[in-house]
Chains A and B, each alone.
Chain A
C-alpha cells in the first residue's frame, strides 16, 4: 500500500536544510562566487571590451563555426559581433555548470553531511517515510540549484544588456535558445546531478567522501552536458528541447530508482 505523501514533513525537512545551508559560509560562498564570475564579471568584461575597441576582427573565429550559426552574426555590425558571439553563444554552455555545481554540492551534504554532523539518527527516528525523506533531501538541493541558476541568469541578462547597450542599442538577451536553456535544460541538468549524488550521499559517511565518489560520475557528466549544450545553442531550438527531454528522462529514472532503493535501514547501517 502506498502511503500518502506528507508534504508537511517534506517542507519541514527542506526548511531545515535550506536554513542550515544559508548559514554555512563553506557552502554559500562557492555557490555565489562561481555564478558571480560567470554571469557578472565575464559578460561585463566582454561588454566593456566591445565598447572600448573600435577595430575588432572575429572573422577567423566565425569561419570555424557552422555556417548557419556564423551567418546571422556576420550580418551584424562589426562592433556587435563580439558581444553577441561571446555573451549570446559562447557563455551559454558555461551556464550549465551552475545548476550542476549547486545541486552536486548540496546533494553531497544531504545524507553524508547529516552523518558527519551526527544528526542523521535523530532524523531517522522521526515519523517521516523513507520515500518522503528521500524526496525532501532531493528537493532541498534541487530548489536552491534552480533558484541560484535563475537568479544568476537574471543578473547576467541585466549586466549584459546594460553594459552592451552603447554598442547594441537594444535588448539582445534572453534569446529563445537561452530561454530553453534556463527553463528546460538547466533544471534537467540539476535533477540529473541530484539523481546521482543523493544516492552517492546516502552511501558515503562524509560529505568529502560523497564528493570524491560523486566526482567520478559527476565530472564526466559535466563534460557531456557541456558538449551537448554547445550543440544545443549553436544548432536549433528543437534539438535543445529534445536534449532537455532526454536529460529529464534520465533524471526521472535515476530518482525513481533512488526512491525504490532508499531505506532508513541502509542509512542506519552506515551511521
Chain B
C-alpha cells in the first residue's frame, strides 16, 4: 500500500496545561514517513500528553499540529482513522476474548463483521496469539496483552503508529520480542512510528531521531549522531594493543595528525579523532612502529549518552539560572 511521502507529523508550539500544571510547553518537531521517532523523557515529561494531542484526544491550549495533513484539534476522527495507538496499559477488556477485543475495534473502525474477523485472525496469527484467540484476556500475561494490543493498533494498517511505553512491565525476553516487532513496523510501507519511552536501550536500537522532553519542555530534537556532534567534538576510538600503552606511546598518539586526545586503557589506549578517516592513519602509524594493533573500534555516542548529556546540560543551565 502506498503512503504519503510528505511529512506525517508537524507540531508547532503545542502547549497544554491541566489547571496550573503545564504539561507541555511550546513543543515543536516533525516526523517523516518510515521514520521511528523516539520521544524520550522521565515519567511526567509530557510523552503521553503529546500522543493525546497529536491523536485529537486532548485539545491544545496553545500552538497547533498537523497529522497526515489534518489538524487533530479540528477533525480528530479523521486523524484517528489513520493512526494506531498502543497505550501504556494495553487497555484490553478483560471480560472479552483476545479475538473479541480486536473485532470490536475493527467494527468501531467501520469494518464489517467478516473483515473485522479476518483482520483479527491475521493479527493474532502475526503476533503469535492465535492459540489464545478464544480465551478471555483476564488470564493473559503483560507480554501477551501487549501483543494483542499491538495487533489491535495495527488492525487497520495505520499510517502512523503511536507506541506509549510499549515495553513497560515486560520481562527481558518479551521486551526483546516487542522491540524486534516494532523494528519491522516502520520499515513496512513507510509507516511512521512514534515511540514514547523512558527505556533508552530500546529507543537506541530503533530510533532514527529523538525528541527529549523534560517536565513538558523539549530539550533537544534531532538524529542522535547530529545531537552528539553538537555536544561532543570528535569520535572516540578504542585501540586494543594487547597491553596498556606506555607514556611515550600515548604522547605519540596525542601528537598525531587528526587526534584530539589520547589516554591509556588497560588493553591499550583510547583516542579521540577528528573524523573516521583518521583511524586507518593512526593504525598505520602504530604498525610502522611495530606496535601490534589487535583492534580499533569507533565508539560513537549512544542515544543513551546523548540523552544524559542533554538532560545534564539542561539541569546545569537551570541551576546556573537559579543561582
Measuring CB to CB, which residues of chain A are less than 8 angstroms from any residue of chain B? 3, 6, 8-9, 11-13, 15-16, 19-20, 23-24, 117-129, 264-265, 268-269
- B57→A127 contact, CB < 8 A: no
Q: A8-B107, A126-B105 are in contact. Are A117 and B93 (CB under 8 A)?
A: yes
Q: Assess whether B85 is interfacial by the CB under 8 Å rule.
A: yes
Residues of B within 8 A of A3 (CB): 77
Given known contacts A20-B95, A122-B105, A268-B52, what 7 new A-B pairs fall within 8 Å (CB)? A8-B107, A9-B107, A23-B136, A122-B152, A123-B91, A126-B108, A268-B57
Complex Cα spacing A23 to B135, Å: 13
- B104→A265 contact, CB < 8 A: no
- A13→B108 contact, CB < 8 A: yes
- A129→B77 contact, CB < 8 A: yes
- B91→A122 contact, CB < 8 A: yes
Q: A19-B100, A269-B18 are in contact. Are A119 and B93 (CB under 8 A)?
A: yes
Q: Assess whether B241 is interfacial by the CB under 8 Å rule.
A: no
- A8→B110 contact, CB < 8 A: yes
Measuring CB to CB, which residues of chain B are less than 8 angstroms from any residue of chain A? 18, 52, 55, 57-59, 76-78, 80-81, 83, 85, 87, 89-96, 100, 104-105, 107-110, 136, 149, 152, 162
Complex Cα spacing A120 to B89, Å: 10
- A126→B80 contact, CB < 8 A: yes
- A16→B93 contact, CB < 8 A: yes
- A125→B108 contact, CB < 8 A: no
- A122→B104 contact, CB < 8 A: no
- A125→B100 contact, CB < 8 A: no
Q: A8-B110, A265-B58 are in contact. Are A127 and B77 (CB under 8 A)?
A: yes
Q: A19-B95, A268-B58 are in contact. Are A122 and B87 (CB under 8 A)?
A: yes
Residues of A within 8 A of B105 (CB): 122, 126
Residues of B within 8 A of A16 (CB): 93, 96, 100, 104
Q: A19-B100, A127-B81, A265-B59 are in contact. Are A121 and B108 (CB under 8 A)?
A: no
Complex Cα spacing A211 to B55, Å: 31
- B91→A121 contact, CB < 8 A: yes
Q: A19-B100, A125-B85 are in contact. Are A9 and B91 (CB under 8 A)?
A: no
Sample (8) of A-B pairs whose CB atoms are under 8 Å apart: A8-B110, A12-B104, A16-B93, A23-B95, A118-B91, A119-B92, A126-B109, A127-B81
**Considering residues A11, A122, A124, which has the most beta carbons from chain B within 10 angstroms of its beta carbon?**
A122
- A125→B87 contact, CB < 8 A: yes
Residues of A within 8 A of B96 (CB): 16, 19-20
Interface of A is mostly: helix
When C-beta atoms are compared, the residue in chain A nearest to B156 turns out to be A127
Complex Cα spacing A126 to B57, Å: 9
Residues of A within 8 A of B136 (CB): 23
Residues of B within 8 A of A121 (CB): 57, 87, 89, 91
- B108→A128 contact, CB < 8 A: yes
CB distance from B216 to the nearest CB of A (A): 16
Complex Cα spacing A121 to B87, Å: 7
- A127→B91 contact, CB < 8 A: no
CB distance from B83 to the nearest CB of A (A): 8
Complex Cα spacing A19 to B100, Å: 10
- B107→A117 contact, CB < 8 A: no
CB distance from B164 to the nearest CB of A (A): 9
- B93→A125 contact, CB < 8 A: no
Partner of B108, one of A23, A24, A127: A127
Partner of B80, one of A8, A23, A125, A268: A125
Complex Cα spacing A167 to B94, Å: 51
CB distance from A141 to the nearest CB of B (A): 16
Residues of B within 8 A of A23 (CB): 95, 136
Residues of A within 8 A of B80 (CB): 125-127
- B89→A9 contact, CB < 8 A: no
**Considering residues B94, B136, B162, which has the most beta carbons from chain A within 10 angstroms of its beta carbon?**
B94
Residues of A within 8 A of B57 (CB): 121, 124-125, 264-265, 268
- B94→A9 contact, CB < 8 A: no
Residues of A within 8 A of B109 (CB): 126-127
Residues of B within 8 A of A11 (CB): 107
Residues of B within 8 A of A117 (CB): 93-94
CB distance from A7 to the nearest CB of B (A): 11
Complex Cα spacing A265 to B104, Å: 23
- A122→B85 contact, CB < 8 A: yes
- Closest 6 interchain pairs by CB? A122-B91, A12-B107, A127-B80, A125-B85, A20-B95, A118-B89
CB distance from A120 to the nearest CB of B (A): 8
Residues of A within 8 A of B162 (CB): 125
CB distance from B107 to the nearest CB of A (A): 3
Complex Cα spacing A12 to B57, Å: 20
